[in-house]
Amino acid sequence: MISRSGQRSVFVGRSLEFSALTEAFNSMLDGSGATVVVSGDAGMGKTTLVEHFAESARKRGAQVHWGRAHEHAGAPPLWPWVQIFRSLSESGVIDKELVGSSGADPTDLAGLIPDEDGSTGVDESVSSADSTAQFRLFDSVNSVLRAVSQNTPLVIAIDNLHWADTSSLKLLEFVSHELQSSQVLIIGTYREAESRRGSALSESIAELARTPGFSDVRMSPLSRDDIRQLVLGFGGAAPPEALVDAVHSHSEGSPFFAHNAIQLLGNRGKLNEQAFADTADWDIGIPAGVKDIIGRRIDDLSEDCVLVLRSAAVVGREFDLQVLVSLFPESDEDQLLERLDEAISAGIINESQVAADRFIFDHDLFRQTLESDLRLSRRVRLHSRIAASMDELFGTSDTNYAARIAYHYRQADSVADAELVAAACIRAGRVASNAYAYDEAADHFGAAVEILEDTAEEQALLARALDGRARALFALGRIPEAFEPTRRAFEKYLDVGMATQALDILSVPLPQYGREGMTKLLERGIEVATSDTEIFSLLLSRLGAARAQELGEFGVAEQAFQDAIAAARAAGSKRAESWAYGRWAMVSPMDWRKVQELSEKALDVMPPGQDFELEVHCRIWLGEAFYHQGDIDGGLREFRRSEEIAIKARNPMRAAQASMELALLMRLQGRWDECLAREDALGFKLWDRPFGSHMAQAQIYFTTGQTDPAKAA
């Protein structure tokens, strides 16, 4: 093999690991999609193995497309998948016609599929947070990949899963589960040491392990014979056993160490028959550890080249020439390119295959070593300059840089202006939210909140940060956590005279059960809202639910619902009137006949096809009313209808709720097999709440005397 840098790269050993990938590939060709993760320590050759296998897969007619995660938190949301879809698009595998015929929604894929100008950014001007949006994106990705695989076998490779953002990992879980009956093979690599218990990666690996067709290939150290073949491949002459022993001993079988040790010897003229004959003690010429060997590779470069590379290392694994130009104003582009050419020739960096004037370190260990040579004060100031440079170059033109800009500003927070740092975090949060990467959005907005807490003059900015965090948490289903930032955002907006924004944040669904302060918050919102408007009616009906659930004031709650209905009629809003009936049904204590009547009224009033969330809510409560009045068939009918609507609307939380209700009635009827299938059905898989589903499965297995499956569940 020849590496991207042009250096000679020899692939040796790995027969067992290669066979495991080939077996999964053969299974995929038979229509059984598979997911394989390749694990091992840094430098064990995970990426090289997959690259070598990818060549074999291409020769057998498969399309292979790559995505790579990077260490810095500044990578754009869903970055590995952005790269995969960019590759699919640029190679002509997917186009508008295929997307349309696949059933995917092009608007859901806007952040992944490049526009005509090649950009994949999303509009960050408004921060959206929809609990169904992430599922719609995942479902569209699944539809497109399935459509591609109907034309050609497809291999998706994701490198460095240990650095992937949480949303990328969730998408991997989803696609792996949904593409089991397809010609799609997904391969991921990760460092075993970084998949610690409780991490997002460890949870994803555990979830993937439950998927049929999953396997974990662990990389083993190279043998002495592998080392011998490696030296032979570089030097062309049979190496002495003393050299093989020395490399094997020092490297402990690490391919990265062995490769670099041998390349270092080759660069210094030590890999030829004459050198083999003249050298008695090979231990002297081989560095003691990985850092030492990387240091020696770097020492062979000129001082000017190293100076540029150290700054590039702070930028990240990938870096742009334009950014380096701004960091070295005394040098012109040609001078910088000469220094980068030197590093390319030495195998330290490569030209990016994605964009011109972009470069990537051959291995992140090179970047880490170069960055560690800089003192903290120097690194902090470099981060500040890099953030300012990226902001000027890409801040308004490429949303893919939003997270990187925020990352560098946060690394420079001790020397950068607090408002600049917070504004960058808010912008990154909006971009992540609009890319449906809500975990990352919540983190970005949370960072902005922390920065602005003690900045009295930036209360409007703090309100926006709290607003964004509340919406992201809601979209993740972490509704109790969303209450406090919602309350604070509402109050901050009112403090700075932004009443419209204050009422808008109250449109985010909030918890009522046991949430102290919900009633007071809604009362303040009603004071601000204009009477006889839709928002006024919606707040009144929510106030009724809060009074009943938080305070137990059912009589006062009924008056609030009646007032909400009157306000809705005055505003001409059938939707608000239907919500008033639906929420009233939800808090009618054990009066199932009344729940039925209110739910039926809500459905009668409801505008057709306008609010799927509302219809599912009402049908679930109608099903509950039928069930509690002894009409099991009526309950099953409404729960099935609820599930159908939720799936059609691509609302995972409501689909899960309907599936759970269906499973409960099936258990009461002793329909164990159907119930097990239901517990593993779409709704549960989409809700990102596997615990409840696993517990229900365990109970069913125990009830039916299946002890071993119960323990596994």
2-57 confidence digits (pLDDT tens): 333 344 456 778 889 999 999 999 999 999 999 999 999 888 899 999 999 999 99
Are β-strands 214-218 and 349-351 bridged in parallel, bridged antiparallel, or unpaired?
Answer: unpaired
Buried b / exposed e over 281-314, threshold 16 CB at 10 Å, is ebeeebbeebeebbebbbeebeeebbebbbbbbb
Are the beta carbons of 26 and 62 closer than 8 angstroms?
A: no
The answer to whether the Cα torsion of 540, 544, 546, 551 is positive or negative is: positive
* pLDDT on residue 154: 97
Long-range contacts of 589-594 (CB under 8 A, 24+ apart): 589/548, 589/554, 592/624, 592/625, 592/628, 592/629, 593/625, 593/629
- Spatial CA neighbour of 470 closest among 486, 447, 491, 490: 486
* pLDDT on residue 365: 83
Alpha helices in 476-517 (DSSP H): 479-495, 499-505
336 DSSP assignment: H
Mean pLDDT of 172-185: 92
Can you read off the two tokens belonging to residue 677? 């299938």
* pLDDT on residue 691: 42
Domains and CATH numbers, the chain: 15-218 (3.40.50.300), 224-286 (no CATH), 612-713 (1.25.40.10)
Listing from the earlier edge strand, what are the strands of the sheet with 358-361?
318-320, 358-361, 349-351
| Torsion angle of C-alpha atoms 111, 112, 113, 114, degrees rounded to 10 | 70
Q: Is residue 511 scored above 60 in pLDDT?
A: no
Q: 335: burial class by Cβ within 10 Å (0-12, 13-18, 19+)?
A: middle
* pLDDT on residue 532: 84
Can you read off the two tokens belonging to residue 441? 């959005």
The residues near 9 (Cβ < 8 Å, ≥ 6 apart) are 1, 2, 3, 48, 259
- Spatial CA neighbour of 549 closest among 593, 509, 579, 584: 584
186 forms bridges with which residues in the sheet?
35, 156
Of 166-170, 623-627, 643-647, which gets the smallest average pLDDT? 643-647
Can you read off the two tokens belonging to residue 509? 């669904």
The residues near 600 (Cβ < 8 Å, ≥ 6 apart) are 622
Of 94-98, 355-359, 404-408, 673-677, which gets the smallest average pLDDT? 673-677
pTM for the whole structure:
0.79
* pLDDT on residue 400: 83
What would you report as the CA-atom Rg of the chain, rounded to the nearest whole angstrom?
29
Buried b / exposed e over 194-218, threshold 16 CB at 10 Å, is bbeeeebbebbbebbeebebbbbbe
Share of the chain above pLDDT 90, in %: 50
Q: Is residue 584 scored above 90 in pLDDT?
A: yes
The two most distant CA atoms of the chain are separated, in Å, by 99
Share of the chain above pLDDT 70, in %: 86
Tell me the pLDDT band of 297, cut-offs 50, 70 and 90.
confident
359 forms bridges with which residues in the sheet?
319, 351
- The pLDDT tens digits of the residues spanning 107-128 come to 888 888 766 555 555 544 444 5
Higher pLDDT, 92 or 196: 92
> Taking all residues of the chain, what is their mean pLDDT, rounded to a whole number?
85
Of 179-193, 247-261, 381-395, which gets the smallest average pLDDT? 247-261
- The pLDDT tens digits of the residues spanning 52-94 come to 999 999 999 999 999 999 876 678 889 999 999 999 998 999 9
* pLDDT on residue 125: 46
The DSSP element (H or E) to which 66 belongs, if any, is: strand 63-68
Q: 630: burial class by Cβ within 10 Å (0-12, 13-18, 19+)?
A: exposed
* pLDDT on residue 480: 82
- What is the number of other CB atoms lying within 10 angstroms of the CB of residue 160? 21
Can you read off the two tokens belonging to residue 382? 């470099």
How far apart, in whole angstroms, are the C-alpha atoms of residue 201 and residue 189? 11
Mean pLDDT of 549-559: 86
* pLDDT on residue 286: 62
How far apart, in whole angstroms, are the C-alpha atoms of residue 408 and residue 315? 8
Taking 3-state DSSP, the helix, strand and coil percentages for the chain, each rounded to the nearest 5, stand at: 65, 5, 30
* pLDDT on residue 5: 39
Higher pLDDT, 348 or 399: 348
* pLDDT on residue 621: 94
8 DSSP assignment: B
The DSSP element (H or E) to which 191 belongs, if any, is: strand 184-191
Higher pLDDT, 137 or 111: 137
> What's the chain's length in residues?
713
Mean pLDDT of 491-507: 91
- The pLDDT tens digits of the residues spanning 325-353 come to 999 999 999 999 999 999 999 889 999 87
Place of tokens 């990226």: 390
Of 123-132, 304-313, 420-429, 489-498, which gets the smallest average pLDDT? 123-132
